[in-house]
Amino acid sequence: MSRRVARLLLAPAVLVVLALLPELGFGLGSVLPGPLSSPGTLQLLALSLLFAGVALSYDLLFGYTGLLSFGHALYFATGVYVANIAVTDWHWGFAEACLVAGAAGLLLAVVVGSISLRTSGIAFAMVTLAFAQAGAIVIQKNPHSWTGGEQGLGYDYTRIPGAFVGVVNTRNLYWLALGYAAAVYLVVGWAVRSSPGHVWQAIRENERRVEVLGLRTRGYKLLSFVLGSFLATVGGIVYLLVVGGSDMSVTAPDFTLAMLVMVVLGGSGTLWGPLLGGFLYTYANQRLVAVGGSHAVQSLPGFLRTPLSQPLFVLGVLFILVVFFLPGGIVGIGARGRSGAHGLSRVGSSLRARVHGGAEDPA
Amino acid sequence: MSTVVLLTITGLGLGAMYFLVASGLSLIYGLMGVLNFAHGAFITVGAYGAWFAETKLSGIGSVPLRFLAASVVGLAAGTCFATLVELVLIRPLYLRHIEQVLVTVGVSLATVALVEGIWGSDPKFYVLPPWFSGTTTVAGAYIPNDRWIEIAAAAAVLVGLLTFLRFTRYGLIIRAGVENRAMVTALGIDVKRAFTLVFALGGLAAALAGVLSGIYFTSITPERGTSLLIFAFIVIVIGGLGSIKGSAVASAAVALTQQYVNYYSTGIGDLSVVLLLAIVLLARPAQLAGRTA
Amino acid sequence: MSSAPRPLLEVRDLHVDLGGAHVLQGVSFDVPAGGITALLGRNGVGKTTTLRGVLGLVPRRGQVVLAGERIDREATHRIVRRGVGYVPEDRDVFAGLTVAENLRLAARNGSARYDLVHDLFPELEERARQRAGTLSGGQQQMVAIARALLNPNRLLLIDEPTKGLAPALVSEVAGLLERIAAAETALLVEQNLAVVRRLASSIVVLDQGRVVHVGTAADLDDEALVHRLLGVGHAA
């Protein structure tokens, strides 16, 4: 079988395998909390798949268009909170709640995106961070007691479709998350191969050149921004279902930074990279706590045991190592010198502050 | 009237901490082009270093002496940590700005997680000299005494930094480097030493902010550094990068705005300064081009 | 019969990529010790990039040899410390620093020649405490040149020193460069051909990132040549 055919069949094959997982009754030792068909395991896998998709939605901006956004969490949180508020506080039906959440995410992305994209580079990163922070503050303030503030907001399960409620239906949530990740893969994959997609990647390489060609880069960047953010909003709705409520952890600055870690770990500028990175990061974050409590780790000397039982420490260190030694991320291990490996430095060159007189103009 | 005095002095106390964080951040970005997310980690290391030292020193000498010694340890810890980060992680990535920023993100995540792992996420408390928790009456307002400490510390650092920048050779190199780093190297000067120096100075000031935050907020937590960092970003954008005087003025402005607006509606003050950041950047994106003190 | 002395600067096959454009495509030339070598060419051919490439201010490939030693692998500040002075195209004085501070920053070791500099530029001594950003273009040019002269350098890289200056100042700067040329070696990028004819002993002409002509200043009397290479004047 030629490599080309193998690559084409990879995604559907993975999809089929993943779809069949809940049917399998065996476990994977301490890698998973229980056998594959158990709710605990399926919950963990569902969350990991969900964030795989969200990470890819982020990489559409970062890895493909070269937009360093520190505010992606805002759109995710919009999905998580608006859908919940509509159902639980306003007593709407689920379908309408999803629509209004999607619309809110879209609108917010268009407005905030248009404003933020008036800047670029580090300034853009800071503006997006500012808006995400503003959103977090609004949620914390708990206007009209809608958001639940620090306590978070559980959802009114009577208004959620029965198929997604209850421990017995965890496998449905798993398939929903899988479906979401697959959908993001398809949408982003199609988008980056389309002609706006080529423009995005050209913008990432050298925005000036694209402008010189007569294209209005702002419109293209906004398109990428809105699409990625909307996908994140949809992910937020899925999160609401998988987790059963809204909480403020999705608004923390650490959350957006986590997405950055996910895509770089996996391999920015590729389709599989962010999926892998999002999946592994989420899995590790959840699972390392349990592994940390395991016998093997507890028997280590104190100075090793403490750091290793902290998932974010392990992930942080891993992240630093990847940045140094594996700029292409995990998927870049096989393919040296492909877009992923250069993705970081290309994003970097378009972000480089012009302060330092490192002129790039020939005389 | 007494409310105004209280709000103002409390605001200046908060602004003092912002300044301590922002000054280092400002120099680092202005000179090196690195948006240092690890600065929050420097704050945390300083705060916990001092706390840890204080627990180890318990019973020895008087409370003020213990606290002073513990603070010195915290400052040393923050400075050494910052220097190490620069030498080991930042310097090898010279000119690769995006990787440098990413690495600081990794340091931030790992450090906070490590601190949480060692000491847990519950707040920790300093044993403070009794005078700190007393109040002084000014124009009818009861001002908590710790505010004076914060303001004095920030003022000292401000004067110290300005003097350093104005009168020493490295200060000259830093001021020039913030304007045009390439030209500084074209004059035969190795800027890399200046880089390590600003990281060390930044770490020192941040550690001091960490210790003071344990006084101002009455406790220290692992996430304190990250939350202070956001406001420091706002300050450096408004105050202009590489500008110490700008950071000082902006710190006061941001903190006072927060205090006053929060007084009328909690949380809206925070919201307004965050939006102020966006407004300034949109109105003047060139704010992110460096200038000197 | 003695062999010709080794050139002070030898550039071999210098390549520079900037922003995706292959600006220098194998530039090779020599700068003989003593006197001024002029680097000429139309706008955008890579003259400034060549100077910056020699100094390592832009990433480059190729060989650069200074007084017999290779410098193309060295960091900029080390190259400069070997005795290279640089007067950049846009002066690049530090606007926030005073004139005196600009000079002090440039002083490399105890042998800074403040007397020489104050002799050549008395106005700078008067304005020592003035912020360089408030100086006129001509005054900033003086600071830029003074900076390069402050230390005893073996080689000066000077980029369009007369650009944007009033004719009287152009004359003054040219006279200054003449005095410098008597004592030190310089590689001079200059568009003003009158100045070049006056000062340069040898010329190197670039076109589209390559050297297309090497000769002496006398070649500039050939109008056809000048028109062909530099696009100025009339064809014969």
The residue that leads in pLDDT, B41 or B127, is: B41
pLDDT top residue among A150 and A276: A276
Provide the token pair at C5: 């002395």
Rg (CA), chain B: 19
Q: Are strands C35-40 and C60-66 parallel, antiparallel or unpaired?
A: unpaired
**Residue A95 token pair:** 């379908």
C63 and C74 assigned to the same domain: yes
Clarify whether residues C206 and C224 are in a common domain. Answer: yes
CA distance C78 to A343: 32
A357: pLDDT confidence band, cut at 50, 70 and 90? very low
**Residue A357 with chain C: CB contacts under 8 Å:** 92
- Percent of chain A topping pLDDT 70: 89
C130 plus C119 within the same structural domain: yes
Mean pLDDT, residues B66-89: 95
**What is the Cα–Cα distance from A167 to B182, expressed in whole angstroms?**
61
Residue C78 token pair: 């080390």
Which carries the bigger pLDDT value, residue A353 or residue B152? B152
* Tens of pLDDT, residues A61-114: 999 998 999 999 999 999 999 999 988 888 888 888 999 999 999 999 999 999
Is some CB atom of chain B closer than 8 A to the CB atom of A284?
Answer: no
Question: What pLDDT is recorded for position C76?
Answer: 93
What mean pLDDT value characterizes chain C? 87
Same domain, C74 and C115: no
Domain co-membership, C230 together with C164: yes
Residue of higher predicted confidence among A115 and A287: A115
* Chain C adjacent subunits, 3+ CB pairs under 8 A: A, B
Q: Are C54 and C157 in contact (CB under 8 A)?
A: yes
Q: What are phi and psi of B260, to 5 degrees?
A: -65, -45
Whether residues C161 and C76 share a domain: the answer is yes
pLDDT digits (tens, 9 = 90+) for A265-323: 999 888 999 999 999 999 988 887 776 666 666 777 777 777 777 888 888 998 999 99
Identify whether residues C17 and C76 lie together within a single domain: yes
Whole-complex ipTM: 0.90
The answer on pLDDT for C88 being more than 90 is yes
Specify the pLDDT at position B288: 60
Q: What is the DSSP letter of C218?
A: G
CA dist., res. C46 & res. C205, Å (int) = 10
CA–CA separation, A63 vs A260, rounded Å? 10
pLDDT, position C222: 83
Q: Which residues 64-83 on chain A approach chain B with CB closer than 8 angstroms? A: 68
Across chain A, mean pLDDT equals 83
- Which residues of B are less than 8 Å from C94 in CB distance? 175-176, 179-180, 183, 292
Helices (H), chain C: 47-55, 76-81, 99-106, 114-120, 122-126, 137-150, 167-183, 193-199, 223-230
The residue with tokens 């710790």 is B146
What span, in angstroms and rounded, lies between the C-alpha atoms of A155 and A162? 13
Would the pLDDT of B204 be above 80?
yes
Query: What pLDDT, on the 0 to 100 scale, is given for residue A346?
Result: 53
DSSP state at residue B140: T
Inter-CA distances, A289 with A156, A301, A306, Å: 30, 17, 11
Note the pLDDT tens digit of each residue in A25-67.
777 776 777 777 788 888 889 999 999 999 999 999 999 998 9
Domain ranges in chain A? 35-251+335-352
DSSP character string of B91-152: GGGTT-HHHHHHHHHHHHHHHHHHHHHHH-SS-B-----HHHHSEEEETTEEEETHHHHHHH
The Cα–Cα gap between A93 and A106 comes to 20
Share of chain C above pLDDT 90, in %: 42
In a shared domain, residues C170 and C70: yes
DSSP reduced 3-state for A73:
helix
Q: Name the packing angle between helices B146-167 and B169-179 (round to 10°).
A: 90
Q: In which band, very low, low, confident or very high, does the pLDDT at C233 lie, cut at 50, 70 and 90?
A: low
The percent of residues in chain A predicted with pLDDT above 90, rounded, is 31
Round to whole Å and give the CA distance between A174 and A195.
33
Q: Residue for token digits 């229980």? A: A34
Provide the CA C155 distance to its chain's centre, in angstroms.
9
Cα angle vertex A129, ends A127, A132, to 5°? Answer: 110
Q: Which chains touch B (3 or more CB pairs under 8 A)?
A: A, C
Contacts of C195 (CB under 8 A, 6+ apart): C162, C170, C174, C177
pLDDT at B290 over 60: no
> Is pLDDT above 50 for C1?
no
- Is B190 close to C77, i.e. CB distance below 8 A? yes
Q: How far apart are CA B179 and CA B168, in angstroms?
A: 17
Structure confidence at residue A14 as a pLDDT band (50, 70, 90): confident
Measured CB to CB, residues of chain C less than 8 Å from chain A are 18-21, 23, 43-49, 52, 57-58, 89, 92, 159, 189
Residue A354: the pLDDT is 32
The encoded tokens of residue C68 equal 């017999």
Q: Which residue has the higher pLDDT, C131 or A89?
A: C131
- What are the backbone angles phi and psi of residue C15, rounded to the nearest 5°? -120, 135
Residue C86 has pLDDT above 80, yes or no: yes
Cβ contact A363–C44 (<8 Å): yes
Q: Taking CA atoms, what residue in A is nearest to C43?
A: A363
Helix (H) or strand (E) holding B143: strand B141-144
Instruction: Please list the residues that pair with B226 across neighbouring strands.
Output: none
pTM value > 0.90: no
Domain count, chain C: 2
Residue A337, SS3 per DSSP: coil
| pLDDT: which is higher, A234 or A120 | A234
Q: Is there a single domain that holds both residue C60 and residue C148? A: no
Averaged pLDDT of chain B: 89
Q: Which domains does chain B have, with CATH numbers?
A: 2-288 (1.10.3470)
Instruction: Return the SS3 of B30.
Output: helix
Tokens representing B165 are 């920048």
The tokens for A72 are 């992606």
Share of chain B above pLDDT 70, in %: 97
Q: Looking at the predicted structure, is the pLDDT value of residue B64 above 70? A: yes
Mutation test of the interface with chain C: which of B184, B187, B192, B292, choosing the one with the most C Cβ atoms within 10 A?
B187
- pLDDT score recorded for residue A292: 64
Look at residue C15 and tell me whether its pLDDT is greater than 90: yes
Ordered DSSP codes for C62-130:
EEEEETTEE-TTS-HHHHHHTTEEEE-TT----TTSBHHHHHHHH--STT--HHHHHHH-HHHHHTTTS
Tell me the mean pLDDT in the region A12-37.
Answer: 78
Same domain, C30 and C77: yes
pLDDT, mean of residues A186-190: 93
What's the pLDDT tens digit per position in B216-225? 998 999 988 8
Average pLDDT of the residues in C208-235: 81
pLDDT value at B103 more than 90: yes
Which residues form the domain of C98?
Answer: 92-152
Percentage of chain B exceeding pLDDT 90? 57
Say which range, A201-215, B4-18, B35-49, B278-292, has the weakest mean pLDDT. B278-292
Going by DSSP bridges, is the β-strand pair B135-138/A245-246 parallel, antiparallel, or unpaired? unpaired
Is the Cβ–Cβ distance between B218 and B54 less than 8 Å? no
The C-alpha atoms of residue B86 and residue A255 are separated, in whole angstroms, by 25
